[in-house]
Amino acid sequence: MSAAKTKAQDIIDGNGVAVFSKSYCPYCKATKELLTKMGAQYYALELDQIDDGSAIQDALQQMTNQRSVPNIFINKEHIGGNSDIQSISKDQLKSKLTAAKAL
């Protein structure tokens, strides 16, 4: 397993909610705003601000078949991107966040 894939997996495994993001991305911002509004504790990794960001993005694509950001995981489950998390009902999202011990 590559170092980037190991790092990504460690972040997913070690956090109830993990958001792989880019600091300038409006969709990433919308996802983080939604999670903040829900009161969720989450770990966001800004891929454009770290040296191995593109390698991690490549690893995430291998793991999820999704290259775009945000790339969201709740309780180790791949949720998808911003449109995916926005389309989950608030009650269902709250249940997922509670199960992930993120609320």
- Distance between CA atoms of residues 42 and 62, nearest Å: 23
Say what the pTM is: 0.96
Helices (H), the chain: 3-14, 26-37, 53-64, 82-87, 90-99
Q: List, for residues 4-25, the tens digit of each pLDDT value.
A: 999 999 999 999 999 999 999 9
Cβ atoms of residues 69 and 24 within 8 Å: no
Q: List, for residues 50-82, the tens digit of each pLDDT value.
A: 999 999 999 999 999 999 999 999 999 999 999
Given this model, what pLDDT does residue 70 score?
98
Q: List, for residues 88-97, the tens digit of each pLDDT value.
A: 999 999 999 9
Domains, the chain, ranges and CATH? Answer: 3-99 (3.40.30.10)
Given this model, what pLDDT does residue 103 score?
87
Confidence check: pLDDT of 1 > 80: no
